[in-house]
Amino acid sequence: MDGGRTITGSIPTANNAQHEVLEVDAAPHVDIKHAEDTFNELARQLSRHSVRIEQSKQTSRTATIYSGDLEKGDEADRPFDLREYLTSSNDANQAAGIKHKHVGVTWEDLEVKVIGGADHKIYINTFGDSVVGFFLAPFLWLWGYIMPFLPHRQPPTRTILHKSSGVLKPGEMCLVLGCPGAGCSTFLKTIANRRGEYADVGGDVRYAGINATEMARYYKGEVAYNQEGDIHVSTLTVAQTLEFALSTKTPGSNGRLPGVSRKEFGTMVQDALLKMLNISHTHQTLVGDEFVRGVSGGERKRVSIAEMMATRARVQCWDNSTRGLDASTALDFVKSLRIMTDILGQTTFVSLYQAGDSIYELFDKVIVLDEGRQVFFGPPSEARAYFENLGYRPLPRQSTPDYLTGCTDPNERQFADGRSERDIPSSPNGLENAFYGSPTHTELQHSLGEFKLHMETEKKDQEAFRAAVLDDKKRGVSRKSPYTLGFVGQVKALTIRQFRVRLQNKFQLTTSLATDTTLALIIGAAFINLPHTAEGGFTRGSVIFIGLLTICFEAFAEMPLMMLGRPIADKQIGYGFYRPAALVFANFFADIPFSAVQVFIFNLIVYFMPDLARSAGGFFTFHFFVYLTFLAMQGFFRTFGLLCVNFDSAFRLATFFLPNMVQYTGYIIPTFQMKRWLFWISYLNPLSYAWAGAMENEFMRTSLTCDGSYVVPRNGPGMTKYPDNLGPNQVCTLFGAEPGSDVVIGNSYLEAGYGITSADIWRLNLVVIIAFLIFFLFAQVIAIEYLSPKLFGGSVYIYAKEDKDTKELNEIQREKKARRHEKYDDEKPQKQSRDEEKPSPKTHRRAFTWEDLNYHVPVRGGTKRLLHDVCGYVKPGTLTALMGASGAGKTTCLDVLAQRKNIGVVTGDILVDGRSIGADFARGTAYAEQMDVHEGTATVREALRFSAYLRQPAEVPIKEKDRYVEEIIELLELQDFTEALVITLSVEARKRLTIGVELASKPALLLFLDEPTSGLDGQSAWNLVRFLRKLADQGQAILCTIHQPSSLLFESFDRLLLLGQGGETVYFGDIGKDSQVVRDYFAKNGASCPPNVNPAEYMLEATGAGLSPRVGPRDWKDVWLDSPEFQRVRAEIDDIKAHGLAIPVSENNQTRTYATSFLYQLGIVVKRNNIALWRSPDYVFSRLFVHALISLFISLSFLDLGHSLRDLQYRAFSIFWLAVLPAIVMVQLEPMFIFNRRTFIRESSSRIYSPYVFAIAQLIGEMPYSILCAIVYWALMVYPMHFGQGATGLNGTGFQLMMTIFMELFGVSLGQAVAALSPSIEIAVLYNPFLEIILTLFCGVVIPYSTMPSFWRDWLYQLVPYTRALSAMLSTELHGLVIECASDEFNVFNPPANQTCQEWAGDFVNAFGGYLDNPLATTMCRYCQYSVGDEFFTPLNISFDNRWRDAFILFSYFVFNVIVTILASRFLRYAKR
């Protein structure tokens, strides 16, 4: 097999010689020698099993284990065949006949297309677009069905990967190179058979001769793609993560050595993996993420590698897997890949950021892409010569990968002397054609054809591969299944994992249990010890209804959890660990132990505190119904979480059902009273069956005594006319009462009041709930298998539409860019050597110095020093690099100098021109932080203008600020992205924007940058540093941390501050041309840098960074302190201070904290917030949609209310629904506020605007949409339901609008106050259930004022703002409303003999209100409880005269919330650094 490497059973000795010590990250590094020792030890442990194999003559069996173990130690472990592994260990039995999984890859005319034409732009959808789209949706939906039958064009597509061909044989590695957007990720994904996100993938890709379709269907786990990010379940330990991966990929008995069980195999391999990757010490540590504390970033990367190894895939694609790692760690990673590929005969594709020559030389093939076109594919040794022969000039000390990508970048490439793009292929198409006509391409075609012929004629590898895959399957798994483990086994493995995930998520466990227990206690205390009288009938229904809704709607949290877990599931499904449906059943089974305990405790409290039927059978029946319903609702919400692409769309979909579920449970509206065209909803509502079952369970065990207000007629104050007990001429008004009896049987109450019977409790209600549970379980299966939205990778730019102004500006920018490119080639030769002379600034720029800088932070048991006696300076017009090993304190030093630390103690002198820094220091400097935090919905131009408007002095005219922003855009080369939304920018473009936002402030003193090249490819890093060099040459002072720059980048800096471990200074001084000054310093102290080594890398190694031994006998910090260079630095600092102090301070020098006034800040920030919300239709339109939907469905249920007693109650219920609005607003608003606060924290560090402006602007931005939502809700409430029939008339409906707006504003302000008081979203959402339950439970509706326990009535009832809102609205609507009972609403009783109805009941009517329909009758007296609406609300402690007072008490709560939000925003930042 050609390609430069022979695939045999032994490790090539050349590789053993070249692989020395691998180090990963700053964490413990991986030692190849140690890895090989461990490898051999494992081999010896397994050798006894190999003897048994020979004895049993099972020579054809495939046995696999994961080679991560022995060879390498860092980042790229690969699975390998155990027989081959043992053979390579003891150099024997190569002829044993073990089947290998050798999978060579060929691709011919591979082409990838996506939706959108060549000039296609995707524009941001706005709130206005969403409103229009909503009304057009029915027509568009109909058109979608008609269009296929009409002639139509297919949507335009554009090619992002043009026809490409190549071959990579088993045991070979291919490096994929290209500038950002060249198509590297697309190429890797299509090779890995991940095609779902593309419109069309053409050409032919074969794996050992197997086509892509068959590979995806039967062997999907054998081709794997590893993305850049490390996505894991954060609450699992490292060992548990690997244990799960191994449990789904451990081969069956035919794929393991005889006598080795699955458990032994998994344990052995897991231990080996942990040892080989040098992460044994982390096996009981949580993997963690940005929210959960766990292993370090480098260790987490190695966990990703180990998980990838567990796939045992034979074709592996690694996409920029060294992102954020330094050069030595990246080298270790690729060395590991090299060893794995050699031993296992894998086929490996890799794309890398900033690859050096030492990495480059480890590959067998290199492919170079330019805008999706293949411009080279061949041996790495030939690539550089190929492009040089085309006419491209190589730059000195430029690595080959940087040179190759640079040849495809118009901004970097240079042509050889006498050559230009007129006679050199330079366009993507030209380079592609040049390659097609080259001998390299001819050789490629020959190699491709030869290998294809070999695969078609000699199918030994293919047959061995198929047989090996079959042998790997566990017994009972279908031959056609692409999985190693059967479905039941997958469910079992996933259930164990999900159980651990829940068990180890302590925060979620404790908070959910505490929340449910507290809510149960609140509900139980509100309904404590309900009487067994008629008064307890309605409240028993209330506590059952509220308890059921509270616990079941807690399952709402499952919806976002499904979405958050989707990336992990997609990755592992792609690895072939399990089929999607297995996750559904695993979630169900794993959740049962936790939810059972949680719901049991809740039900125990809610059931016994109110004194529901106290029997074991009654409680467990109640618990059984509630718990089954909880599980069914859990499935309901999980289904939506699987179906929807984001939370807002899921929220809209859920609110389509939730109001109806509540409304049509049977409690608010009994089934027989529902509108005939809507009653069917109750039959599709699982809550209606649960509530009916719980009610039947309660009242089949309970009888109620009729007394008090439920007896008609009865004695009023000072009356003795009527019997104290129920007499023959009185009637009990409770549903189901029998004449002459004061005891109401529970079953009779249910049948008369709600139309339900206890006979249905088991035969109907239980059966239907179980059916819903099963239905939602299988709905999840269908959703996750066939309907789940796919997560697309890659960067897609989304633009805001141009207006007249921006269109003109963009045209000017394009013209400037075109003119510059015309003369760019003529200027390139001069750019190579920088002039020593720099333009001197016209005005005096101040110098920045620091001396004896120390920084201590508090730790457990004392303090820790992070910086020690650091000295240095930055002069105007210089570019200073701050470097050091991981953990040396680079970012810490930068934060201290930039005054960004708010914890710890800083000592030493930080001076500007010899003077202490003033209040305007933050405004005079700019700090581009490593995390690119911006307002995501702003365009590039808007983000730059925002910074310029608020950070440049107010005296500067707006036009001048705009002109400067246009200069920044040109300088940053962002002309093509001026209208692109920040959130859609690529990593490189966002980095440039971060710098531009800081430059827009025109920093008078200094520009700080923290790791500006981190995460960028070599080409982007060069572009960025080239830009910084440009700024420095114009007089700007720059201090920049840099992470392992190439030698070319390193030489762009003027000075270097090199820190060692513990924050010690190792060197500060000039770098010099070709790094000669710094080279000379280290050389004279015993560390001579070889000429072909990057000095930036060598310095770290020489000073003992990582595992590298220190060069020289002395600590380099001591060498520095004793050096003459250190003395010269101290002298230079003294000179700078003296020179600065000699310059007098301007008399009118202002030291304002902010550059602009409060009102100006407020105007600019409000404008930005308004634009952001307008461009966030999912957020704003979802709220409007939910308001409209709830109001509409409530109105349809209570359509055209009249004057009956029933309609009176429905008016009250419909008004009570208004209490739902704040809860809806809070759920959406809190995450938005906290996310915006992140942006504010970053901006406030630069004193852009005050925290008061932030808080007020957040509220003002929400106001228009809040008022719109309130108006829509009000309009759909008052008119369909026929409000305004009382004494207040239409004026009353206007008052209702005002109250609706006040309620909406109260919800907005409460949500913002909660968010401002909370450190995170996870904490904020915990407040919501408490607040909503308290606000709704104690406002006097759910528990009437007269029956509310006095403890709550005396203070909480008065304190709750909903009390005021509902009092004002009820009194306004019902005041003067004439009540006319319907025929079935009268209480009928017979007067004593010889008395009329009036004579017998007149005193009662005068005392309690209502009216007699037939006062002169002597039999069958018909009494209506109310004659006017006032009689309904007066016993509820509501007064019509107090409605305006109540309205403005509610408004005062809004004002109070706003004040809390402002103060919390000022004093609670929750940003410690």
| Across 417-422, average pLDDT | 79
Structure tokens at 1164: 């600019």
Give the C-alpha separation, 123 to 984, whole Å.
11
CA 1247 to each of CA 262, 911, 923, 1250: distance values in angstroms, whole numbers, following the listed order: 61, 20, 6, 7
Give the C-alpha separation, 1311 to 1307, whole Å.
6
Are the CB atoms for 474 and 483 separated by under 8 Å? no
The sign of the dihedral angle between the CA atoms of 1020, 1023, 1028, 1031 is: negative
pLDDT for 830: 42
pLDDT tens for 1373-1382 read 999 999 999 9
Query: Cα 317 from chain centroid?
Result: 25
Residue 505 CB coordination number (10 Å): 19
Answer with the residue of higher pLDDT: 1043 or 1184.
1184
pLDDT for 42: 44
- Give me the percent of the chain exceeding a pLDDT of 70: 87
Strand partners, 855: 867, 906
Residue 1388 CB coordination number (10 Å): 14
* Residue among 1039, 1036, 1026 nearest 1001 (CA): 1036
Name the residue with tokens 């995460």: 1015
The sign of the dihedral angle between the CA atoms of 391, 394, 395, 401 is: positive
Query: Going by C-beta distance under 8 Å and a sequence separation of 6 or more, which residues neighbour residue 423?
Result: 391
| Across 398-424, average pLDDT | 81
Give the C-alpha separation, 1253 to 555, whole Å.
37
pLDDT for 89: 34
pLDDT tens for 593-635 read 999 999 999 999 999 999 998 899 999 999 999 999 999 999 9
Give the C-alpha separation, 1161 to 947, whole Å.
11
For residue 375, what is the DSSP state? E
pLDDT for 4: 40
Helix (H) or strand (E) holding 799: strand 798-799
Asked whether residue 71 carries a pLDDT value surpassing 90, the answer given is: no
The three-state secondary structure class of 850 is strand
Give the C-alpha separation, 380 to 817, whole Å.
35
pLDDT tens for 1339-1355 read 888 888 888 888 888 89
- Return the amino acid letter for 473: K
Give the C-alpha separation, 720 to 374, whole Å.
103
pLDDT tens for 1421-1451 read 999 999 999 999 998 889 999 999 999 999 9
What angle, 0 to 180 degrees and rounded to 10, lies between the N-to-C axes of helices 535-553 and 580-608? Answer: 150
Provide the pairing of β-strand 64-66 with 79-81. antiparallel
Structure tokens at 462: 């293919």
At residue 983 the predicted structure's pLDDT band, cuts being 50, 70 and 90, is: confident
pLDDT for 339: 77
- Return the amino acid letter for 1443: R
Asked whether residue 889 carries a pLDDT value surpassing 90, the answer given is: no
* Residue among 1049, 1057, 1139, 1122 nearest 1084 (CA): 1122
| Across 171-178, average pLDDT | 92
pLDDT for 58: 32
Burial class (CB in 10 A: 0-12, 13-18, 19+), 819: exposed
Query: Going by C-beta distance under 8 Å and a sequence separation of 6 or more, which residues neighbour residue 224?
Result: 192, 308, 311, 313, 315, 316, 317, 574, 575, 576
pLDDT for 1309: 95
pLDDT tens for 1364-1417 read 999 999 999 999 999 999 988 898 999 999 899 999 999 999 999 999 999 999
| Across 165-178, average pLDDT | 92
CA 648 to each of CA 651, 799, 1229: distance values in angstroms, whole numbers, following the listed order: 5, 21, 11
Are the CB atoms for 7 and 1 separated by under 8 Å? yes
Asked whether residue 1006 carries a pLDDT value surpassing 90, the answer given is: no
Distance spanning both ends of the chain, measured CA to CA:
56
Dihedrals phi, psi of 533, to nearest 5 degrees: -120, 180
Asked whether residue 834 carries a pLDDT value surpassing 80, the answer given is: no
pLDDT tens for 263-314 read 877 787 777 777 766 677 788 888 887 667 677 666 777 788 788 877 878 8
pLDDT for 790: 65
For residue 784, what is the DSSP state? I
At residue 994 the predicted structure's pLDDT band, cuts being 50, 70 and 90, is: confident
Are the CB atoms for 1065 and 871 separated by under 8 Å? yes
Strand order through the sheet with 315-319 = 223-226, 315-319, 347-351, 173-178, 365-370, 373-378
Query: Going by C-beta distance under 8 Å and a sequence separation of 6 or more, which residues neighbour residue 532?
Result: 611, 702, 703, 704, 705
The three-state secondary structure class of 859 is strand
Q: What is the DSSP string of 733-768?
A: -STTPPTT-SEEEHHHHHHHHHS--TTHIIIIIIHH
Residue 680 CB coordination number (10 Å): 11
Give the C-alpha separation, 66 to 376, whole Å.
33
Name the residue with tokens 């939502």: 1269
Radius of gyration (C-alpha) of the chain in whole angstroms: 38
Provide the pairing of β-strand 1064-1070 with 1411-1412. unpaired
Give the C-alpha separation, 1096 to 1094, whole Å.
5
Helix (H) or strand (E) holding 460: helix 460-472
Are the CB atoms for 975 and 813 separated by under 8 Å? yes
Dihedrals phi, psi of 247, to nearest 5 degrees: -65, -25
| Across 80-102, average pLDDT | 43
Out of 215-224, 692-701, 825-834, 1038-1047, pick the least confident.
825-834
pLDDT for 277: 66
| Across 944-951, average pLDDT | 90
At residue 1247 the predicted structure's pLDDT band, cuts being 50, 70 and 90, is: confident
Name the residue with tokens 């359509």: 1199
The percent of the chain in helix, strand and coil, each rounded to the nearest 5, is 55, 10, 35
pLDDT tens for 1291-1333 read 889 999 999 999 999 999 999 999 999 887 778 877 888 888 8
Dihedrals phi, psi of 1457, to nearest 5 degrees: -60, -40
| Across 924-947, average pLDDT | 86
| Across 731-755, average pLDDT | 87
CA 975 to each of CA 212, 910, 983: distance values in angstroms, whole numbers, following the listed order: 40, 38, 17
| Across 57-80, average pLDDT | 33
pTM of the model: 0.80
Asked whether residue 826 carries a pLDDT value surpassing 70, the answer given is: no
At residue 1241 the predicted structure's pLDDT band, cuts being 50, 70 and 90, is: confident
| Across 1055-1078, average pLDDT | 88
Asked whether residue 53 carries a pLDDT value surpassing 50, the answer given is: no
The sign of the dihedral angle between the CA atoms of 168, 171, 177, 181 is: positive
pLDDT for 1306: 95
pLDDT for 570: 87
Average pLDDT of every residue of the chain: 82
Structure tokens at 68: 């991560």
pLDDT for 1260: 94
Structure tokens at 1435: 């016993």
The three-state secondary structure class of 399 is coil
Strand partners, 81: 64
Give the C-alpha separation, 14 to 5, whole Å.
10
Structure tokens at 556: 């709402």
pLDDT for 836: 38
Give the C-alpha separation, 245 to 577, whole Å.
7
Q: Helices (H) and strands (E) in the chain — how many of each?
A: 53, 31
The three-state secondary structure class of 68 is coil
Query: Cα 469 from chain centroid?
Result: 36
